[in-house]
Amino acid sequence: MERRIPKHVSIIMDGNGRWAQARGKERVYGHFEGVESVRACTEAAVEEGVEYLSLYAFSEENWNRPAAEVETLMGLMMKSIENEYETLMRNRVRFVVLGNRERLGAALNASIDTLMEQTAGNDRMTLVVFLSYSGKWDILQAMKKAAAELGAEGVQRLGIADVDRYLVTAGIPDPDLLIRTSGEQRISNYLLWQCAYTEFVFTDILWPDFRKEAFRAALDEYARRDRRYGKVK
Ligand code: IPE
Ligand code: IPE
Ligand code: MG
């Protein structure tokens, strides 16, 4: 029987700091090495026929980290955007950034917009990077957007399926599989609404060590799951 492939795989990329500290290095080395894992998992996802790969790269709460670390992470994002253009085009990957873009610098926002425009026509896979994102922020901005667009009476007529349209993930299917690395087993304010029926896979592997083989193992685990959606089978 053919292995069931999730349409949308999402990853909470965690454990960079611990990976570096275990080697007696500064936390930022873990972030540098983590970029290699992003590349490996993107390639593996394309090879496996995943349609959407989304990555939690920076949470709203992560702004509370030391300024130097925040700066390194933003710089790394900028550099990755500059470096990855060719790989994305070769693999026909569409690049999308979602989150509270107002908190990002003008230069980074401009680079993001450029790469999003350049890759907009790519049709093999969509790579979504969540930057300055949190699930509660997303739900709140959706409420505000819906209220502004529909007014008080219109909001009263909203159905559950209509809410999707106002979340920043509008048009993107909910994750089928959510992977979190580094042994932590929590959602950390990630896709709260969208993960209502997502399958979770937790692994002790630290993000810089999470490469193609580990990604495929998570897909194997997903294929063994029985998704019942509250029904009886
Ligand atoms: C994940 O690794 C990267 C981000 C959250 C930006 P961490 O930096 O959280 O690494 P640990 O959890 O401290 O090891
Ligand atoms: C979650 O990791 C956020 C990202 C991976 C971007 P954290 O390391 O920030 O999460 P907590 O603080 O351990 O819950
Ligand atoms: Mg962490």
Distance of alpha carbon 93 from alpha carbon 200, whole angstroms: 25
Q: How far is the CA of 188 from the centre of ligand 3 (A)?
A: 9
Domains of the chain: 8-134+179-186+198-224 (3.40.1180.10)
- Give yes or no for residue 2 having a pLDDT over 90: no
Task: Report the pLDDT value the prediction gives residue 1, as an integer from 0 to 100.
Answer: 60
Give me ligand 2 centre to Cα 163, in Å. 26
Cβ contact 187:200 at 8 Å = no
The ligand 2 atom nearest the CA atom of 57: 6
Give distance in angstroms: CA of 109 to centre of ligand 3: 24
The pLDDT of 64-84, averaged and rounded, is 97
User: 6-44: per-residue pLDDT in tens?
Assistant: 999 999 999 999 999 999 999 999 999 999 999 999 999
Which uninterrupted H or E stretch holds 10?
A: strand 8-12
Q: Is the pLDDT of residue 51 over 90?
A: yes
Catalytic residue list contains 176:
no
pLDDT at 45: 98
- pLDDT of 64 over the 80 cut: yes
What average pLDDT does the segment 216-226 reach? 98
60 lines ligand 2 (CB under 6 A): no
Which whole-number Å values give the CA distances from 72 to 18, 28, 53, 206, in the listed order? 16, 7, 24, 19
Q: Are 59 and 45 in contact (CB under 8 A)?
A: no
Whether 193 and 135 have beta carbons less than 8 Å apart is answered as: yes
Q: Which region, left, alpha or beta, applies to residue 99 given φ > 0 means left and ψ of -120 to 50 means alpha?
A: left
Write down the pTM of the prediction.
0.98
Please compute the mean of the pLDDT values over residues 162-188 and round it to a whole number. Answer: 98
Mean pLDDT, range 41-65, rounded to an integer: 98
pLDDT attached to residue 76: 97
Structure confidence at residue 103 as a pLDDT band (50, 70, 90): very high
Average pLDDT, stretch 66-85? 96
* Spatial CA neighbour of 62 closest among 19, 16, 109: 16
- Dist. CA 51–CA 7, nearest whole Å: 5
